[in-house]
Amino acid sequence: MQVLGIIPARYASTRFPGKPLVDIAGKSMIQRVYAQAKKCVHLTEVIVATDDTRIYDHVVGFGGNAIMTLPDHQSGTDRCAEVARQHPQYNVIINIQGDEPFIDPEQISKLAACFNNPDTEIATLIKRVATEQELFNVNSPKVVINKLSEAIYFSRSPLPHIRGQEQKDWLSCFTYFKHIGIYGYRADILQQITTLPISSLEKAESLEQLRWIENGYRITVAETELETHAIDTPEDLEKVISQISE
């Protein structure tokens, strides 16, 4: 099985412009993500997909592999699909978030292993919700799964609703999972899902994976105990730097 890791990276960001190039203890964010991805033995190759020459030049400058993509993609999934079309030799595509500079290679390996099952179409990771704060954080999507280890719904709200119990007791009544935002796709499925129109559920929750479920695609999940630390804002970056320097 030939597995291609793609790191979508764009310069323009409403909350944090130029985020891929910010310095984290002597290395840029994108360089750290790339280095962690390269440690994963299950990836045949790693490519940064960007629409900005500053990011492209930077990646090539530190010896990485980068490709310029079209500027009008609506999501990292669309950017991955463009790169995948240029590399038809790969069976599986792993979409690695460009704002997680300390992603553990084991998480990438766990996701890639889902495709040892030939029936897997799309795969992602989940982690048990440990705190009430996580459970009710609308920026941390939750996942409802079935007995086949497939996601049947993603929501910014805690699902299911525990009837007859106070919210502070919900975690003791049910095992909740949150979504870890890394995806894997079979190459042909990736091309299919990027042609789908935006769905009603996707609009409601602002979660693109609901479009795939609404159209009948299966999303296999694998549970991880490892946490991820995405950097969405300058404040997130300050926290990470302070932790490194401690």
- 88 upstream amide cis, omega within 30 of 0: no
Q: How far is CA 27 from CA 150, 180, 183, in A?
A: 37, 24, 25
Q: Per the domain annotation, does 244 fall within a domain? A: no
Contact between residue 70 and residue 1 where contact means Cβ atoms under 8 Å apart: no
Only one residue has tokens 């099985």, namely 1
161: CB partners within 8 A, 6+ apart: none
What's the pLDDT tens digit per position in 35-83? 999 999 999 999 999 999 999 999 999 999 999 999 989 899 999 999 9
Q: Per the domain annotation, does 174 fall within a domain? A: yes
Task: Please state whether beta strands 177-186 and 122-128 pair in parallel, antiparallel, or not at all (unpaired).
Answer: antiparallel
Enter the tokens of residue 77: 């999934």
Question: Which residues are registered as beta bridge partners of 5?
Answer: 46, 94
Q: Per the domain annotation, does 246 fall within a domain? A: no
What's the pLDDT tens digit per position in 229-245? 778 788 877 877 766 65
Q: Per the domain annotation, does 243 fall within a domain? A: no
What is the pLDDT at residue 228?
80
Residues of the chain with pLDDT under 50: 246
Residue 220 burial (CB count, 10 A): 20
Q: Per the domain annotation, does 98 fall within a domain? A: yes
Q: Per the domain annotation, does 144 fall within a domain? A: yes
Residue 167 three-state SS: helix
Domain count, the chain: 1
- Tell me which residue of 151, 7, 142, 1 sits closest to 65, measured CA to CA: 7
Only one residue has tokens 């999934």, namely 77
C-alpha 138/C-alpha 133 separation (Å) is: 10
Enter the tokens of residue 107: 């998480």
Q: What percent of the chain has pLDDT over 70?
A: 98
Task: Please state whether beta strands 122-128 and 219-223 pair in parallel, antiparallel, or not at all (unpaired).
Answer: parallel
What is the pLDDT at residue 246?
46
Averaged pLDDT score across all residues of the chain: 93
What is the pLDDT at residue 244?
62
Q: Per the domain annotation, does 185 fall within a domain? A: yes
Contact between residue 150 and residue 139 where contact means Cβ atoms under 8 Å apart: no
What's this model's pTM, rounded to 2 decimal places? 0.93
Q: What is the CATH number of the domain that holds 37?
A: 3.90.550.10
What is the pLDDT at residue 232?
78
Tell me which residue range forms the domain holding 166: 3-234
Task: Please state whether beta strands 92-95 and 177-186 pair in parallel, antiparallel, or not at all (unpaired).
Answer: antiparallel
Q: Per the domain annotation, does 239 fall within a domain? A: no
Q: Is the dihedral of CA 96, 8, 193, 214 positive or negative?
A: positive
